Amino acid sequence: MAMNYVRFKSVLGNMTTAAQKVYAAIPAFDSWTHDEINAELKRLGSHMDYKTMQGCINSLMGAGLVRELAGTGKRHRFSRMEVRGKPTKTLDEQETEAVTEPPKEEPMTTLVIATTKITETKNPVDLLGDLAVKARSISTQLLALANEIDPAAIAAQDYVEHSDKDTEKLRQLQSLLKGLV
């Protein structure tokens, strides 16, 4: 079963760097064992723990990027899933071309033709895929922001507790001074 290109880019982009490196080492039109994939990783300059590589392969299989093929005995073989509909140009590149084309005799007609080309090459499923990629990007940024807020909140709480202790010491000092007078 083939995977849509936009979905493929989205899923692979959300994988860890290690999983992306393992994916790059798995052949598209052949099937390899764990040992062959590990050797390819080393050839590519990515030295990785064997168990980590196996975990990455399991993650890639769970995401639908890699499939396990029947092997002999306990030797499992793995291959990439087929990706269909790989666009030659992104929507942004097509829009840039449409805008940067020099105006011809009828500029409005040129713009209409360029817009028509963009909508013809981009079907609604791909547009939804692009929106999903953008939404994931925004959610990743929000998660990073939330991760920055947590330590700041802890620091603020520590500051308040420290201030409360200082205030209590000041009150004790005031009561001592009042007792002396």
Q: What is the pLDDT of residues 59-90, one digit of tens each?
A: 999 988 998 887 666 678 888 888 887 655 55
User: For position 57, which CATH number holds?
Assistant: 1.10.10.10
Torsion angle of the four alpha carbons 76, 15, 13, 21, in this order, in degrees rounded to the nearest 10: -60
For the chain, what is the domain count?
A: 1
Residue 74 lies inside a defined structural domain of this protein: yes
Whether 53 contacts 37, CB under 8 Å: yes
- Regarding pTM above 0.75, the answer is no
Distance between terminal CA atoms of the chain?
89
Torsion angle of the four alpha carbons 169, 172, 173, 174, in this order, in degrees rounded to the nearest 10: 120
Radius of gyration over alpha carbons of the chain, in Å? Answer: 29
- Binned at pLDDT 50, 70 and 90, residue 135 comes out as confident
- With CA atoms as reference, report the closest residue to 36 among 27, 45, 48, 28: 27
Residue 48 lies inside a defined structural domain of this protein: yes
The residues near 54 (Cβ < 8 Å, ≥ 6 apart) are: 34
For the record, the structure tokens of 8 come out as 């493929």
Residue 140 lies inside a defined structural domain of this protein: no
- d(Cα 79, Cα 142) in Å, to the nearest integer? 34
Name the residue range of residue 12's domain: 3-84
Residue 124 lies inside a defined structural domain of this protein: no
Residue 66 lies inside a defined structural domain of this protein: yes
Residues facing 83 on adjacent strands:
3
Residue 129 has a pLDDT of 76
- d(Cα 30, Cα 134) in Å, to the nearest integer? 33
Residue 105 one-letter amino acid: E
Residue 131 lies inside a defined structural domain of this protein: no
Residue 31 lies inside a defined structural domain of this protein: yes
- d(Cα 37, Cα 53) in Å, to the nearest integer? 9
Residue 170 has pLDDT above 70, yes or no: yes
Percent of the chain with pLDDT over 70: 77
Q: What is the pLDDT of residues 17-46, one digit of tens each?
A: 999 999 999 988 888 888 899 999 999 888
Region 148-177: mean pLDDT is: 85
Q: What is the pLDDT of residues 116-131, one digit of tens each?
A: 344 445 677 777 777 8
Residue 120 has a pLDDT of 47
Whether 78 contacts 66, CB under 8 Å: yes
Residue 157 lies inside a defined structural domain of this protein: no
